[in-house]
Chains A and B, each alone.
Chain A
């Protein structure tokens, strides 16, 4: 999730232009616009979700407009009455921001054919979760012969100077901090134990990456041998021949809900609903679960298979046992204070 100066600038310019020329966003019939994420998400949605949606809806016109969550929120905020996006995709933190700013509509649950089949954690009335992102331990099997089993393994003396983490800018970094806090007696409301734990981790820390993507590079370069990591990102690295393995720690793998929302005042409300329905179908979720995508499904009718069944969970019951869900409402309340504290305290 690298965001460069140019994309930041583009957002700023768009905002400026929208303010200066309200006419730019005046109403007109346009295809359904789905703001997915960039990178592997866009590829997966282009190849699987879009064809499934068009097949089910008489080739209805739609476009993917991949952008970061923050850009989605900024764009919709700039033209609330006539938003340029119909469907948004969010990590748990930004999803709550979008809901808090009144940018999304409640999902028409009673109309939905698939909502009730979702596992209970994915049933979000303001926008269901069609996918999970899973964070566990990533390690280099060539350097580490005994697979790690717990978050606590990161503190082992044998990993001196071999551990990588990311800062709290990312969902991954923040979620990991909360999990470490819980392991040491803290909670979403109290991460003091986690900061103490990171203090003790310092001798082992080889790198504090600016984003999860940078961790991948560090594995490739042998800079680190073990780190918290995103299941999907690791599969992509593995497919490219980098020696990395993923394990779900015994405390449970951290699961983030990626939620999908109908934008308030969307001019394509009906099609937006249909697109979200398509993303919840067992067919789409099964295809996305298989290689090369390996996206964790949320529909309980999907039979787990392949790498996901091997490494994560064989069925929904096991998935519920092995996954840890976090309270992002609580996390969001203090996240900025944690980021500030991390900025100040974590220097290696």
Chain B
């Protein structure tokens, strides 16, 4: 290639290819985000007076902080449920024949093929007073009066866990697939029990998948406006609904913007904790 400039590095082509998407993000993500930030730095709803009043209002108000806290907690609960339920499925996937693998992947992906609204309404039917759970328990004589499942924290966690499950299972399947099955056998033949093998071999090696799954599930669960409001109802307030209330009903855009920015930062902190754990786990997995 005598005509090509000698200094040209083959890796530099990558940037050019990323340009369309980068430009798209610049116009349709970064620009609106900056505008959001600009709006949040105003003390009045007409956005005429600069100031940090909206942030002060949020950060000094115990109620607002409790909404933020309960939203972050909700995310943690959903992520934990997804991890505990999703890991065995992903593990199973790597150990069954191709036909069963197809069935498992279909079951995992199925929720993604229906709209979130439909899935959420299905949960209303399941959790309702005359829903499937209550009707079954009552006909078995286990309970006399219907349990209150809808419009409870428990209901929201269960519904969100099902709705977001694929986001956890898919990265786990990929991560577990990369582990050499011989390592299991080696561990066993060297005298480790199956629990020890799992804790010392499988879990550390699958950590990158666990971290990726947790990050995705967490981010999706705390921002899931539809499921939160339909299953949680009007008296359980999470950040997306709080934001909507301020922006839509009260027309208080600067405060709504400040809520968004604070929420965004809180999520970024959580995600970066996950990423740091991921980086540490790479060291651990390699050891």
The interface of chain A, by Cβ under 8 A from chain B, is 2-5, 8, 12-13, 15-16, 19-20, 68, 70, 73, 97, 166-170, 173, 206-211, 214, 217, 221-223, 335-336, 339-340, 343-344, 346-348
Smallest CB gap from B46: residue in A:
A101
B265 near A: Cβ within 8 Å? no
A/B interface sample: 28 pairs, CB < 8 A: A4-B226, A5-B223, A5-B240, A8-B248, A12-B36, A15-B35, A16-B31, A68-B248, A70-B247, A166-B234, A169-B234, A169-B245, A207-B150, A207-B151, A208-B234, A210-B230, A214-B234, A217-B124, A221-B128, A222-B128, A222-B129, A222-B130, A335-B249, A339-B245, A343-B63, A343-B245, A346-B235, A347-B235
Q: Which residues of B contact A16 (CB under 8 A)?
A: 28, 31-32, 35
Nearest-neighbour CB distance to chain B for A348, whole angstroms, equals 6
Q: Which residues of A contact B32 (CB under 8 A)?
A: 12-13, 15-16
Q: Which residues of A contact B225 (CB under 8 A)?
A: 4-5
Smallest CB gap from B252: residue in A:
A336
Contact B31 A3 (CB under 8 A): no
Q: How far is the CA of A168 from the CA of B234 in the complex (A)?
A: 9
Smallest CB gap from A209: residue in B:
B234
The answer to whether A20 and B129 touch (CB under 8 A), given A210-B234, A336-B252, is no
B125 near A: Cβ within 8 Å? yes
Q: Which residues of A contact B230 (CB under 8 A)?
A: 210, 214, 217
Q: How far is the CA of A73 from the CA of B249 in the complex (A)?
A: 12
Q: Which of A4, A12, A206, A211 contacts B234 (CB 8 A)?
A: A211
Nearest-neighbour CB distance to chain A for B263, whole angstroms, equals 12
Q: Which residues of A contact B234 (CB under 8 A)?
A: 166-167, 169, 173, 207-211, 214
Most A CB atoms within 10 A — which of B225, B237, B250? B250
The 10 A-B residue pairs with the shortest CB-CB distance in the complex, in nearest-first order: A167-B234, A16-B32, A221-B128, A208-B235, A210-B229, A222-B130, A208-B234, A210-B234, A70-B248, A169-B249
Smallest CB gap from A21: residue in B:
B27
B111 near A: Cβ within 8 Å? no
Q: Which residues of A contact B36 (CB under 8 A)?
A: 12
Q: How far is the CA of A343 from the CA of B32 in the complex (A)?
A: 29
Q: How far is the CA of A209 from the CA of B241 in the complex (A)?
A: 12
Most B CB atoms within 10 A — which of A68, A170, A222? A222
Q: Which residues of A contact B229 (CB under 8 A)?
A: 2, 210-211, 214
Q: How far is the CA of A230 from the CA of B251 in the complex (A)?
A: 24
B131 near A: Cβ within 8 Å? yes
Q: How far is the CA of A278 from the CA of B93 in the complex (A)?
A: 64
Chain B residues 122 to 143 lying within 8 A of chain A, measured CB to CB, are: 124-125, 128-131
Q: How far is the CA of A17 from the CA of B235 in the complex (A)?
A: 35
B274 near A: Cβ within 8 Å? no
Contact A206 B31 (CB under 8 A): no
Chain B residues 114 to 165 lying within 8 A of chain A, measured CB to CB, are: 121, 124-125, 128-131, 150-151
The answer to whether A221 and B124 touch (CB under 8 A), given A13-B28, A210-B229, A210-B234, is yes
